[in-house]
Amino acid sequence: MARRKKKSRKNSSRNSVLTVAIFLVLCAIIVMAWKRLPNDENTHSSVAHAPSSTMSGESLLRVIIPDTIPSQIVDYTGMTLSFNARRHTPNWVAWELTGDETTGTVKRSSTFYNDPNVAGCPETYDYLYSGYDRGHMAPAADMKWSADAMKETFYLTNICPQDHKLNIGSWNNLEEKCRALAQIDSAIIIISGPLYLHPTKEFLGDNRVEVPSHFFKVILSPYSEQPSAIAFLIANSSHTEGLQKSATSINNIESLTGYDFFSALPNDVEEELEAQNDFMKWNRYITSNKRKTQKRN
C-alpha cells in the first residue's frame, strides 16, 4: 500500500506539470493569433496608413508654390490665402470646413472690402461695370459660424473676376456639394484659386485686376473611414461643361500650377489620394449619404 501510495503521488505530479505546459502553449497560440487580427485602422480604409484624426487641419492647409510667384500669406479667421500683388487676385485660398460649421446662423454680408493690410489688394470700384462677378474663392456660406469669418470672405483678397453664369451655376453647385460632404465626413479640406492658362487678355479697373482663364478646387476628406480626394478644373466661361467633365485629379492641378498640395500627408497616402479622379463614385457617395442624413433628421 505504501508503494502504491508513493507511485500515485509521482503520477499526480507528472500530470500537473503536463497540464500546466499544455495550458501555457495554448495561451501562447491565442496571443499570437490575436496579434495577427486586423486592427480598426487597417479595416476602416483601403488607403495604407490613412491620415490620423489627430493630424491638424492647419498642416493640411499648407500649399507650397514656386518662389517665382509673388505671394503674401494672409491668415484670416476662417481661411488662409496666398495673395498675388501682381495679378491682384489670390494664388490660392485654403480652409477647413466642418459639418457643424455648415449649420451656422450668421447672415450673409453683401459689402465687399479692400484689405488695407495686403499690398496690391484691389478696390471695389475695379469691378464696377466690368461684366464680371466678384467671385468668392472661399464662399461666404461656409463661414456662417462666425461674423468675422463671414465678413473676411468679402475682402477682395478672396475674390476673382468670375463669369456670372459660372458663379451662380457650376461653381455654386460645387460649393453646395462640398458643404454636404463636410456634413457626411465631419470635416474636409478645400483649396481653391484662379488659373491663368493663357496669356491674360482682360484686366479690370485702374488696378488692372487680371481675369483668370480657369478656376481650380481641390477637395480632401482626410478623416472619413475611406479617405478620398478629387479636384476640379473649370473654365471661367458661361459655357461650362458641368462638374463631371470638369473633374480631374489633384496631380493634374499640381502639374498645371506647380503647386504642392497636402505635403503633410505620408508620401504613400499623398500619392494615392492625389491620383484619384472618380467623379461618379464621389458624387454617388455624397448623394446617397445626404439622403440618409436627411432621413435621420
User: Which residues have a catalytic role annotated?
Assistant: 136
- 35: number of Cβ within 10 Å: 8
Alpha carbons 126 and 263: distance in angstroms, whole number: 36
Closest by CA to 170, choosing from 267, 255, 235, is 235
How many whole angstroms separate alpha carbon 223 and alpha carbon 180? 15
Q: Which residues contact residue 194 at a Cβ distance below 8 angstroms, ignoring those fewer than 6 apart?
A: 87, 89, 90, 137, 160, 212, 214, 215, 216, 236
* Euclidean distance between CA atoms 275 and 257, whole angstroms: 16
**238 CB contacts (<8 Å, ≥6 apart)?**
163, 164, 165, 166
DSSP class of residue 226 equals S
Q: For residue 250, with 0-12 CB atoms within 10 Å meaning exposed, 13-18 middle and 19 or more buried, which class applies?
A: buried
